[in-house]
Amino acid sequence: MDISLPKLVKKKVKEKINDVYETIYVATHPTRSIILTQLESQKMYASKLEQKINVDRKIISFHLAKLEKAGLVASEYGLMANSKTRPMAVRYYTLTVEGEKMVKKLKAILSD
């Protein structure tokens, strides 16, 4: 008698494992891990991250899209108030619950 898991269950388990590996791969890229740690303290938009970590905004936007697709960050549109000009629409990024967990894990690994 064959006690192996049905093919559908095996496929789902394999997909879940691949998702975990993909999330770890996305989070451990040097630029993306810096972005994650910056977003830990406050929500930010791409231009603000560009100023903080000194990386081109287009590259930051690329990495933010990867992080968002992996479920580590979420985005929402909002208004940035500037005293010199009228309010400007920007896309704010924040860590998701999974993103917060990943930052804690990364810090724990890197502190050893």
pLDDT tens profile 50-94: 999 999 999 999 999 999 999 999 999 988 887 677 888 889 999
d(CA 68, CA 92) in angstroms, rounded, equals 12
Give the residue, 11 or 99, on which the prediction is more confident: 99
Q: Which CATH architecture has domain 7-111?
A: Orthogonal Bundle (1.10)
Give the residue, 29 or 17, on which the prediction is more confident: 29
Amino acid at 108: A
CB 65 within 8 A of CB 96: no
Q: pTM for the complete prediction?
A: 0.81
Confidence grade of residue 6 (pLDDT, cut at 50, 70, 90): confident
What pLDDT sits at residue 10?
A: 74
